[in-house]
Amino acid sequence: MIEEHSPEATPESTPQPETIDPVQEIEEGKAAAILAYVPFMCFVPLVKMKHNRFAIQHGKQGLVLFLIEIIALIFLLPKISDLFWGFVIIASLTVAVTGILYAVQGRSCKIPFIGDLADKLKI
């Protein structure tokens, strides 16, 4: 008896998801992962290795570390620190006045970042 196979049913024509060997993925992403922890170089794995989970994970951590380093530098340099906190105060006052104006007009507004944090409060 001869079995009939349609072209759609053959294993060769069915696209199979590409399996990635974890060891190979690590080896391919290792150089980019190392660069992730060098200041300013954290963007290399995030841009150049978008499909390598190992490199991306290190790139994300490197980016957070880089941002922490920048904040630490701001606090170490007195003039920059004064400018930073001056900006924060002016921005806070501007946002507060804007919020007051919206409230007086009976309008609602969601302040970027602050509104998201406020939504998470369980009050």
> For the segment 17-30, what is each residue's pLDDT rounded down to a tens digit?
567 788 898 889 88
% of the chain with per-residue pLDDT over 90: 16
CA distances from 115 to 6, 12, 44, 68, 111 (A): 57, 53, 32, 23, 5
> For the segment 64-87, what is each residue's pLDDT rounded down to a tens digit?
999 999 988 877 888 878 888 889
Question: What pLDDT score does 8 carry?
Answer: 52
